[in-house]
Structure 1
Amino acid sequence: MHMHTPLRRIRRFCSRTLLLLPALALLAGPVPASHGAAYQPNQVSAQQTVGLYQNIPGLTSQQMEYGKAAIPKLHYNAQRILRKICALPGVNFDYAKQVIELLGRERFTYEQVLTYEALSSLNTMDIKNGIAGLDTVKAMSFEGGRSFRAFAGMQGVTANQALSMISQLNELDDANNRAAQAFFSIKGMRVDIAQKGLPTLMRLRNNQAKAAEAYAKIPTMDTETMLDGLELIAKLYQDDAWNARCLFTNKSVTARDAWNWLVSYFALPTNVQEAQYDKLDSQQKSILLQALYEGGTEILWKINNLHAVTDQYGYEISEAALNSWSMQQLQAKFNELVPSVRARYSGFASAGRGQAVAILKQATSAARVQTARDLTIANAYAVMAQGSELYDSSFRDIMVPVLQSRIDSRFQGDLLAFLRSIDPGNRLVSDFISSCAQKGKLTVFFPTDAGKQKEILSLVASSAFQNEDSILLFSATLSHLLKVLTPDARSYLIGLMAENSEAENAAFSKLVTVILQYYLQTYPELLGPADRTLISRLIVRHGAVNLDRYQVTPFAEWKQDGRLASVSMFHPDDDGRQSFVSNANLLLSNGYKLTASQQYTIPQMTPALAAEIQRYIGSGLVSLFQAMRNRHFAVAFTKQVNGITIVHTQFVYSDMDNQMEMLDRFVRSGDEMLAQRGHSYWRSEQIIEPLTKLIEENRVSESELRGKQRFLSLGSCGGVKAYTTLTRLFASSVDILASIGTGLAMINDPYNKMFFEIIATNNTNISWKTMAQQSASIFQSDRGQDYLLPGSLTAILHKILDETEQATGSTPRNRFERSRG
């Protein structure tokens, strides 16, 4: 029996604290016995700082007393900076007093402290440069500071080189700074090479910088290959750069491979890319298709946002708002469109305001089509393979006509020939066909010839039934496919599935059999008489599975301590801020109280920090979000419901280390829900990578993950693509809400709020079916048709697979290997 009581939470907290105390003791130095009972880290910091201050040459007794009185009043971050000042060559009382007075007025963030420590640790640094560096560091951005520390970490960097580098890094956007961090960290990097590559790195725009970061992070990367590749990356179109970035993150790609892909594909014009694709072998096509599939998020976002004139968040700008804009504002929005479209609407510049609005709307519509036309045929295929994330109009009215025209011209309308040529490894066939079925457009491509239909469905089966992971993903969209197939084609697919149920792999066989049983019990209307007979015989042969067992919830255990708690993670970008504000407003309007979260705040929660957070809370949600990013604190929304304390913590991503610490605290705390918000392409940084590292470093054990059934809310688009990976990472002790298609704040916000409230107001033995019924209002008007709820077929299959592996002692696929997508 798993203990989950207030005592358990206390034990976990105390265990965690006890583990940290030795590290704190080492960092802080010896604690006087007389003060041991009232030990405070800031007191130890002050003692250390006073000690270093008193080592300054030539201090009088009066100057000694000045330091003893002034230093303890400084913030902890200020004391760390002063310790570095006191150790610099040339320091005297006047310099130290000048810095103490400055630090009493100015507040330095933790990141700025780390940056200053890196600067002041350089061998050639003296007191004059050290004091000059304070102003320079104070002006540094969050990412700029990290880039500087990476540069300062190279061997042989002088103080003058470091100080001159700061001004250059301050001019960079965040994406360029992250590229610089990776660039400076390449094995064998020297100061002269870094200075040679920096001008090119500074010229990179948006996705080019992201591609350069991924390129530099390839484990086998060397400085020569990096410099050569940087010149090519600087010439890539934005879409090509994003796709290249996705390919560079493939763990099987070496530095030489990445260079070859740049030279022979990504740096070439689109028409040449088309010709080059045909020359690739099957394995190379699969590698590239996977990159195009992962990179499809950028294209999806772009095409969706061009459904109308929209703002940076993808929300439509009303006609009234456009009519109120100045010509300068309209021109700026027009300039965001691709050059080829702007050239077709050259009359915009001379138009009056009313006419300019009409032209802008027409040009935006044209840009949507042009974006699709500019894709290679392989890229269009990969984007449509995740078509559930495209708006219906984007898929049906934009992508389908474009791809249909390409298939007609290159393959004489033969879908089978197209699939065999573009995707000989059947990497994305089942996803593509399922997407077309889900959007009601399969008949546009599907041949009328019965023989070719069966051959295509054979490819679908080959793609869908490659392994357990592909079956799990296929199960999420199978209903859409069955609904659009003709009875004969449907029976053929059922027959193929029945054949796969006889596989020697017991786990594989059971998954396929359960899928068929589920459809026989839940959707018998989709099956013909012969299909039902075939499935019934299979069930008799293999044995029926009690599917109701997988509707059981962990709510009784959750409610034992009278507390239900969640952590929502937001990325520090525009979309993350929008999601945070949306969610916060909903909670506040429903009676939740906003406070600081000591549990998930990364720095120590001192009275000063608590007061500072309270000021930020009163400054508005946008300012609060920015402060949460910079100061690494978390906030919580709390409410009492039916005697249960509900706590929704909000946490903003800052870096890998802090994210690992947050997830470590989540696992050990006994909290129930983890929610990922924002763009889908941050899922890896927010959950997968940090949790993987925690497991690999043995900071989180499998027994800790299995010791509690948790709930994971994936609010980002296409969460189903990470469903299997995340289920494995949480040792299959997790229930998941995920989207097959577009994640919507209008569903994510109320569902996460209502979820705990339903648990609090119901008895402890309600099932996932009951939860779905009581939250059904959120999904009205088909808004939630693309969501997979806990207790769905896909959820059942994951639980069955884990049971089978546990019972047989078989080793599952690499826990850290991502499933497709």
Structure 2
Amino acid sequence: MTSFSRIPGLTENELEYGRQVIEQMNYNSQRITRQISLLPGANFDQCREIWSELESKDASYNQILAFEEWTKLPGATMSLAVQVLRTLKEMSHEEIKCVRAFLTISGQNANDLLALIPQVREMKPSGSFAARKMFAVRGIRAEQALNNLSLIHKFTDKQAWAYAAFVESKRMGAETATDALPLFQQLRDDAAWNMRTLIKKDKLNRNASWRWLISYFAHPVHVQEKQFYRYDSPERTQLLDAFYEAGEELIWRINSLHAVSDEYGMEISNADLHAMPRNDLKELFDKLSEKTKINYGSHFIAAYKKNQKSSMIRILRKATTADRTQVSEDLTSANIYSLLAQGSELYDSSFRDILVPILKKRIKAKYQNNLLIFLKATDPSNLLVSSFIVSLAQKGKLTTFFPKEASEQEKILDLVAASAFKDEDTILLFSATFRHLLKVLDQDVRYYLIKKMVLADNGRGSFSKLITVILQYYLQEYPELLNAPARKLIQQTVDRNGAVDLKKYLRTPFASWKEDKRLGSISVFHPDDDGRKSFVSNGKNLLSHGYRLAFSTHYTPYQDAATREQSKKAIQRAHSGKGLVLLFEAMRRSPFAAAFVKKVNGINISHTVYVYANEADQQLLMKRFLEGDDEMFAQRGHSYWRSEQITDPLEKLKENKQITANDLTNKQRFLSLGSCGGVKAYTKLTRMFLGHIDILATIGTGMAIINDPYNRNFFETVAKNSSKMTWEDMAAKSSFIFANGRGQDYLQPGCLTAILHKILDEDRTKKKDFSDLELLSPSDELEQEINAPQ
């Protein structure tokens, strides 16, 4: 009221009218009134116009902040304020974040925002995200930033995500960020995603990011193919590692082309295709690669213009089948190799019928049809050799590449051994898929591999113990895979090193969990289509099993009273299950958490759900999880969102000294990963939680039909059964979820991989050797850098 009363020329009646209106306003509207009253040209009539605007639709907190930031710019006037406020109120949460990022650029004036808003509103979310990151680049000028938007607007989603990572590189400058724009425009989607992964994984600075862009990623695939082999061994290994890490998205794309599919990769039925408007069919066609659209476009467009839907569908099916091969052909040999190395993620048809024939043809043409020559040239550090060979064995395609001569096979296995038995990390990776390789090798060659494994045992500490445990485990669990000489050799090794009691690594923390008569989890979903689908699936599963919805105060960031009431109403509307999509959208707009609660055998079970919002709120959520009483953290969705949801928040909390080692080790927790991304990620996450974590993860494709019932059944099983049950018991009681071969690539607590991690953590704790784990004493702050997986 004080600011309003200072507007020049107000009459007594106007002052009294303003006083009555302001007293009835909510806090947000009062803040806006305070700001507009201070603007040049402030007058009663325009105040009343803004009050009417505020009465018609409440502004969100972020919209208010954006408006306040704008009012501080040179040139902000009362007449402009009405226009700006009206426009800001119509903008989405993501658009407002982009506006606020722009407002941090120095040297701008009030009119610049009016030039920005139309461009932001036309952008896809990925473009808006890239623009936000570009606005934060050191030294960027408002005029320069506005000019850059015209190119960002043309980016594909993958180009936008890659550019966002690029401009976030350390020491990025405005000129480099601007010069790179046309180069990013010409990146293929696979190249863009690979580059994004390389930048984030290796934390590249500006110079390194620019060098990789101009020397490799911005070139067509045939140039990349040659350039890859011109790099030295460390650089080839660096690229291979990035290809592997980035593989999930490309694998999803290839898999989804097995048929005409929706945005979730699910096949669209013939009936649904015929029921679609022709424009929807054209949208599906437009999503195919450029080469495929060129090859089939004239026929498709002709059918489109004549409204011949049957012909459109026939051509669309044919083009989709061709595009699966085209997308794969447009990859470098090294990239195909890295995809085949994570074969569990690929559909059998993608693996066997598409990628394997392409790579086989190239090896035959360029490498004398000799796998050994190809492996030495492509993977000189033996980074993925073991995973590649095991994947071929798992998918039944090893004979396509494997030499027939035993001596040549042994040379390949020498590379496998060099890849798998380098150190503790590689042996952990190998352990998860060792059985697949043994199954396809002849007995004599199996014995050769076992012998290589025994010879790799250097008798030193943890590495030796891991090899012993793997051999002991297979002797106990899979003796039928071993011939008599192999069994004898393994027994001699176990006798020499000493047998390990594996049962002690199957103990659970359930007794301590149930002491407070409650079990709690927090599940984080990404704010995209895949996240929405998982959110709804999970919610329906819980509601159908007797859970009820409630507001979660513990995990909800700050909300004013009015917004909190709206959040609670969204939860109430979702009780029947029909409002779950709307609940998801409400969480996207204004972050809050909801809990599915149920009492089982005297234990209060709470499954809290949350939609990822931003870095700051995710850090707060992670901090509350670590300092709270909940036992389970579930990251739902693709593995490439793991950094935003888990590892980045942990790193930031550590950097800001907001968590201690004791926060990570004060209880044994459980991590449920919708999609793990491989054993490497499993290992790194175990280390980030300082070994005090049990994990459900898949080294293949994550599935809601596994994740939803497992997470629900997990706590209910703990509540209903003795606290003395082991992880082996839990696996038995969860076996119905994995029936009929479902989820065969899931790693459950108590599996060999889990046992090996516990042994490794135990040995390092005994030796007080925490250099690789970045482990500190419980009373110390986390002052060392945690190497987070991306």
TM-score normalised per structure 1: 0.89
Give how far 1:333 is off.
2.2
Give how far 1:727 is off.
1.1
Match of 1:745 among 700, 704, 708: 704
Residue in 2 that maps onto 1:493: 449
1:340 corresponds to 2:258: no
- Matched-pair contact (CA < 8 Å) for 1:389–1:742: yes
Match of 2:653 among 686, 689, 694: 694
**Secondary structure of the structure 2 residue equivalent to 1:249:** helix
**Secondary structure of the structure 2 residue equivalent to 1:770:** helix
- Matched-pair contact (CA < 8 Å) for 2:688–2:773: no
- Matched-pair contact (CA < 8 Å) for 1:214–1:245: yes
User: Could you give the per-residue CA deviations for residues 421-478 of structure 1, whole angstroms, max 9, x where no partner exists?
Assistant: 1111212112211211222222221112222222222222222233322222222112
Residue in 2 that maps onto 1:15: none
1:84 corresponds to 2:35: yes
Q: 1:572 to 1:819 in 2, by over 3 A?
A: closer
Q: Distance in 2 between matches of 1:671 and 1:315?
A: 34
Q: Give the residue type in structure 1 aligned to 2:551.
A: A
Residue in 2 that maps onto 1:477: 433
Residue in 1 that maps onto 2:332: 376
Match of 2:219 among 268, 271, 280: 268
Q: Distance in 2 between matches of 1:307 and 1:706?
A: 45
Residue in 2 that maps onto 1:138: 89
Q: Distance in 2 between matches of 1:388 and 1:820?
A: 20
Q: Give the residue type in structure 2 aligned to 1:307.
A: H
Residue in 1 that maps onto 2:414: 458
1:623 corresponds to 2:582: yes
Q: Distance in 2 between matches of 1:405 and 1:509?
A: 40
- Matched-pair contact (CA < 8 Å) for 1:341–1:363: yes
- Matched-pair contact (CA < 8 Å) for 1:718–1:743: no
Give how far 1:503 is off.
5.2
Give how far 1:260 is off.
2.2
1:176 corresponds to 2:132: no
- Matched-pair contact (CA < 8 Å) for 2:684–2:789: no
Q: Give the residue type in structure 1 aligned to 2:501.
A: N
1:733 corresponds to 2:692: yes
**Secondary structure of the structure 2 residue equivalent to 1:246:** helix
TM-score normalised per structure 2: 0.93
Number of corresponding residues:
771
- Matched-pair contact (CA < 8 Å) for 2:685–2:789: no
Give how far 1:58 is off.
6.2
Residue in 1 that maps onto 2:191: 240
Give how far 1:544 is off.
2.0
Q: Give the residue type in structure 1 aligned to 2:375.
A: L
**Secondary structure of the structure 2 residue equivalent to 1:540:** helix
Residue in 2 that maps onto 1:775: 734
- Matched-pair contact (CA < 8 Å) for 2:53–2:86: no
- Matched-pair contact (CA < 8 Å) for 1:724–1:819: no
**Secondary structure of the structure 2 residue equivalent to 1:175:** helix
Match of 1:410 among 359, 362, 366: 366
RMSD between aligned residues: 2.3
Residue in 2 that maps onto 1:362: 318
- Matched-pair contact (CA < 8 Å) for 1:122–1:157: yes
User: Could you give the per-residue CA deviations for residues 688-716 of structure 1, whole angstroms, max 9, x where no partner exists?
Assistant: 11122112222121111111111111012
Q: 1:134 to 1:611 in 2, by over 3 A?
A: closer
Give how far 1:775 is off.
0.9
Q: 1:59 to 1:530 in 2, by over 3 A?
A: farther
Residue in 1 that maps onto 2:779: none
Q: Distance in 2 between matches of 1:162 and 1:242?
A: 31
1:214 corresponds to 2:172: no
Match of 2:114 among 159, 163, 167: 163
- Matched-pair contact (CA < 8 Å) for 1:469–1:819: no
Moved more, 738-747 or 587-596: 587-596
**Secondary structure of the structure 1 residue equivalent to 2:589:** helix
Residue in 2 that maps onto 1:117: 68
Q: Distance in 1 between matches of 2:476 and 2:743?
A: 23
- Matched-pair contact (CA < 8 Å) for 1:277–1:285: yes
Q: Give the residue type in structure 1 aligned to 2:517.
A: G
Q: Distance in 2 between matches of 1:752 and 1:252?
A: 34
Q: Give the residue type in structure 1 aligned to 2:133.
A: A
User: Could you give the per-residue CA deviations for residues 547-605 of structure 1, whole angstroms, max 9, x where no partner exists?
Assistant: 11111111111112121111111000000001111111111111111222222111247
Q: Which blocks of at least 5 consecutive residues in structure 1 are unaligned?
A: 1-49
Aligned pairs (5 A) from 1:277-676:
277-345=228-296, 346-350=298-302, 352-502=308-458, 504=460, 506-604=461-559, 606=561, 609-615=564-570, 617-618=572-573, 620-676=579-635
User: Could you give the per-residue CA deviations for residues 72-129 of structure 1, whole angstroms, max 9, x where no partner exists?
Assistant: 5434433433333344344345444443443233122232223223212224323332
Give how far 1:359 is off.
3.4
Q: 1:759 to 1:147 in 2, by over 3 A?
A: same
Aligned pairs (5 A) from 1:55-70:
56=7, 69-70=20-21
User: Could you give the per-residue CA deviations for residues 646-674 of structure 1, whole angstroms, max 9, x where no partner exists?
Assistant: 11111000111011111111111110111
Give how far 1:255 is off.
1.9
**Secondary structure of the structure 2 residue equivalent to 1:811:** coil
Give how far 1:55 is off.
5.4
- Matched-pair contact (CA < 8 Å) for 2:521–2:633: yes
Q: Distance in 1 between matches of 2:571 and 2:509?
A: 37
Q: 1:60 to 1:537 in 2, by over 3 A?
A: farther
**Secondary structure of the structure 2 residue equivalent to 1:596:** strand
Give how far 1:65 is off.
6.0
Q: Distance in 2 between matches of 1:340 and 1:94?
A: 59
Q: Distance in 2 between matches of 1:95 and 1:465?
A: 75
Q: 1:59 to 1:342 in 2, by over 3 A?
A: closer
- Matched-pair contact (CA < 8 Å) for 2:676–2:682: no
Q: Give the residue type in structure 1 aligned to 2:176.
A: T
User: Could you give the per-residue CA deviations for residues 511-564 of structure 1, whole angstroms, max 9, x where no partner exists?
Assistant: 222222222222222222222222222223322221111111111111121211
**Secondary structure of the structure 2 residue equivalent to 1:639:** strand
- Matched-pair contact (CA < 8 Å) for 2:710–2:737: yes
Q: Which blocks of at least 5 consecutive residues in structure 2 are unaligned?
A: 775-784
Q: Distance in 2 between matches of 1:422 and 1:610?
A: 59
Q: Distance in 1 between matches of 2:23 and 2:515?
A: 44
- Matched-pair contact (CA < 8 Å) for 1:88–1:120: yes
Residue in 1 that maps onto 2:102: 151
Identity of aligned residues (%): 48
- Matched-pair contact (CA < 8 Å) for 1:741–1:786: yes
- Matched-pair contact (CA < 8 Å) for 2:674–2:707: yes
Q: 1:394 to 1:99 in 2, by over 3 A?
A: same
- Matched-pair contact (CA < 8 Å) for 2:567–2:592: no
